Amino acid sequence: MRLGAHMSIAGGVENAVLSGHSVGCEAIAMFTKNNNQWKAKKLTQDDADRFNAALIETGIHPVVAHTSYLINLASPQAALWKKSIAAMEDELARCELLGIPYLVLHPGSHMGNGVDWGVKRVAEAFDRIHAKQPNLRVMTLLEHTAGQGNHLGHTFEELAQMRALIAEKKRVGVCLDSCHLLAAGYDIRKPDTYADVFKRFDEIVGIEQVKAWHLNDSKTPLGSRVDRHDHIGKGKIGRAGFRNIMNDPRWRDLPGLLETPKGPELKEDKVNLRVLRRLVEA
């Protein structure tokens, strides 16, 4: 895997690339705007030029962006749903300008209206977005979730249902999160259970739909449906689980991105990346 971490864009989008390079990232994850605000300062061609110059200088690729946490394409509230669609269109346009190939999205919460209703709502939102932006190269990646509350996407079946209902499904892939998998009840810790999990995933969704990984240990146990990230090898997955992921040839060359806790000097990223690399068997 091409390992990296989520990096801050404080001071300019190019700083995410430079910070990632400083701690040994081969790929990075980032927001393209403040993740807790609807509006953002427009990106310019100069921003894009500096960003791409940093990518060329460092050799980092690919970059995986993440949408704002405010977006809910499953919302039953008409105003929030339309606002989320507009925000998603903007996020995709920002990625297109920067040349970022992947944009990760939490599918959203049905807010009590039920899974089937929520899945259809998400698909309808995507069809509207795709119709309005027909020529974008950016692929949206539905993130597999831990299953808290009414959030969609914690089962493989829900991810498959969403993609099946989207007209242009080739524009939508999947991002897996190791912490979310365990919390949702998928045991990836032992070789045999790991193999069973991905046999099921391949049958239901398709291995080829996985375009990126978030690599996080879990503070909460198998099936807890609570999303709490921990440092690699320090949580309920443990090093054995990550050894399964790191040595699976199906993930070769995919970005594997940390979202683990970190301080301002990013020492934790260096440690977690080192732990992951040491798990790779020759």
Q: Give the pLDDT band of residue 19 (cuts 50, 70, 90).
A: very high
Whether 9 has a pLDDT exceeding 90, the answer reads yes
Name the residue among 1, 31, 10, 19 with its Cα closest to residue 98: 31
Q: Give the pLDDT band of residue 77 (cuts 50, 70, 90).
A: very high
Cα separation, 210 vs 201, in Å, equals 10
> What is the pLDDT averaged over residues 207-235?
98
Q: What DSSP line would sit under 133-186, residue for residue?
A: STT--PEEEEEP----TTBS-SSHHHHHHHHHH-TTGGGEEEEEEHHHHHHHT-
- 242 residue type, one letter: F
Map out the domains of the chain as residue ranges.
Answer: 2-278
> What is the pLDDT averaged over residues 186-215?
98
Whether 36 has a pLDDT exceeding 90, the answer reads no
Q: Give the pLDDT band of residue 282 (cuts 50, 70, 90).
A: confident
pLDDT of 215: 98
CATH top class, domain 2-278: alpha beta
pLDDT of 245: 98
Whether 84 has a pLDDT exceeding 90, the answer reads yes
What is this structure's pTM? 0.97
> What is the pLDDT averaged over residues 74-90?
97
Cα separation, 43 vs 234, in Å, equals 38
Q: Which DSSP state fits 254?
A: -
Whether 152 has a pLDDT exceeding 80, the answer reads yes
Q: Give the pLDDT band of residue 150 (cuts 50, 70, 90).
A: very high
> What is the pLDDT averaged over residues 169-197?
98
Q: Chain-wide mean pLDDT for the chain?
A: 97
> What is the pLDDT averaged over residues 108-133?
97
Residues 6+ apart with CB under 8 A from 183: 146, 147, 218, 220, 222, 223, 224, 225, 226, 227, 228
Whether 235 has a pLDDT exceeding 90, the answer reads yes
